[in-house]
Chain A
């Protein structure tokens, strides 16, 4: 029989505490080299260098690693901000027609 505080809302707290414990354990275990490995994997993932199977494995692997998930979210956001902020001059509305008209007959 679980203690009262571990059921209902208390159960949620317990799960959160377990997650925090897991996070701390992950941080403790994750030395600089390991984190560096994950950065490398994040790049491979975002640069489409992973096979679909490796992508799934990677996403499964980082489910309990909030630091790595943060890193992935950050990297993805920076790339999307680069795309959004890039100047894209308007294409002249008649450019396509001018190109077609220049094609040799």
Chain B
């Protein structure tokens, strides 16, 4: 298989997933397209380093993340995000059982359009936005995320914990502002069970 064939067969099928990821990293459709193109150019340049039949999608996501950090963000003069694990003094020992959406009501989504979910995700700090996207949207494993983001699995776990809690709060706030009512008949101010 030539480099071009490998590129077309193994890498190009992930175009849509990459485009969505790029959109949620940059927040702009035009930027997303540029970022995806830059990612594919870089991937082609290093295609000999990619082992055919392995995880092409994770490899491409890692390249996109690096292109975004090293080139795109610098070019667009976006400041580096704070390392929130350090800033908050968060430790892995926190209650990992709460790394879930367990107290978020399902009908929150009944009155929410795609825009609100996307806005809630985009309003998260970059590091948290990225991890929610990789885990809850793209369904990558902790190990894959660890390789994509080049962080230890323990950090994936702890960052995901904070990211889910933050997203949950954003969605609950939104639900409260639009006055979602409990389906069981009585009104509620909160979207929490």
Chain A residues in the interface with B (C-beta under 8 A): 36-37, 39-40, 42-43, 47-49, 71, 74-75, 77-79, 81-83, 85-89, 91-92, 95-96, 98-100, 102-104
Q: Which residues of B contact A75 (CB under 8 A)?
A: 100-102
B44 and A36 within 8 A (CB): no
Name B113's closest neighbour in chain A (CB-CB): A85
Bound form: Cα–Cα A10–B115 in Å: 52
Bound form: Cα–Cα A56–B137 in Å: 24
Query: Chain B at the A interface: mostly helix, strand, loop or mixed?
Result: helix
Name A103's closest neighbour in chain B (CB-CB): B44
B8 at the interface (CB under 8 A from A): yes
B12 and A89 within 8 A (CB): no
B66 at the interface (CB under 8 A from A): no
**Whole-angstrom distance between the Cβ of A14 and the nearest chain B Cβ:** 30
Q: Which residues of B contact A83 (CB under 8 A)?
A: 136-137
B102 and A71 within 8 A (CB): yes
Bound form: Cα–Cα A83–B99 in Å: 18
B50 at the interface (CB under 8 A from A): no
A99 and B135 within 8 A (CB): no
Stretch at the interface among B35-43, B78-86, B178-186: B35-43
B: number of interface residues (CB 8 Å): 44
Partner of B40 from the list A77, A82, A99 (CB cut-off 8 Å) is: A99
Bound form: Cα–Cα A49–B133 in Å: 17
Q: Which residues of A contact B136 (CB under 8 A)?
A: 79, 82-83
Bound form: Cα–Cα A36–B7 in Å: 46
Q: Mark B20-43, 1 if CB is under 8 A from A, else 0.
A: 100110000100110011001100
Bound form: Cα–Cα A100–B53 in Å: 21
B141 at the interface (CB under 8 A from A): yes
Bound form: Cα–Cα A92–B23 in Å: 13
Name B160's closest neighbour in chain A (CB-CB): A47
Given known contacts A48-B142, A83-B136, A102-B37, what 4 new A-B pairs fall within 8 Å (CB)? A47-B142, A86-B114, A95-B15, A99-B41
Name A35's closest neighbour in chain B (CB-CB): B97
Q: Which residues of A contact B139 (CB under 8 A)?
A: 48
B141 and A91 within 8 A (CB): no
Name B133's closest neighbour in chain A (CB-CB): A86
**Whole-angstrom distance between the Cβ of B30 and the nearest chain A Cβ:** 10
Q: Which residues of A contact B96 (CB under 8 A)?
A: 40, 43
Q: Which residues of B contact A100 (CB under 8 A)?
A: 7-8, 12
Q: Would A47 and B135 be within 8 Å (CB), given that A81-B109, A100-B8, A102-B37 are in contact?
A: yes
**Whole-angstrom distance between the Cβ of B17 and the nearest chain A Cβ:** 9
